[in-house]
Amino acid sequence: MRISTLSDRNPGETELGVVFASTEGVDDSAFDRCLAMLSEKAETIGATALLGLQVVQSQFQWSARTSLVATAYGAERTPEHA
């Protein structure tokens, strides 16, 4: 078995990874902020798509948070998908 990261994949290889983001709040704007953070993290590591997005919104007495986790898919971009 080989362990790798999306950012270190060889040309032509496909890789999967996991990305996570969390922000304060449990409203629509918190979800939008969290999704933007998640997308930015995925692009930074070379992901070309996000699969299986999972949202968790938690409200405790002292903290309300929205968290997202997703599978990041990385493959070589073709000109028509760049």
CB 69 within 8 A of CB 42: no
* pLDDT over threshold 90, residue 65: yes
Q: What is the CATH number of domain 16-75?
A: 3.30.70
pLDDT digits (tens, 9 = 90+) for 25-60: 999 999 999 999 999 999 988 888 999 899 999 988
Query: For 9-29, what is each residue's pLDDT tens digit?
Result: 777 778 888 899 999 999 999
Residue found by looking up tokens 């950012």 in the block: 7
Residue 1: per-residue pLDDT: 52
pLDDT at residue 25 in the model: 93
Q: Which residue has the tokens 């493959």?
A: 75
pLDDT at 77: 64
**76 has pLDDT over 80:** no
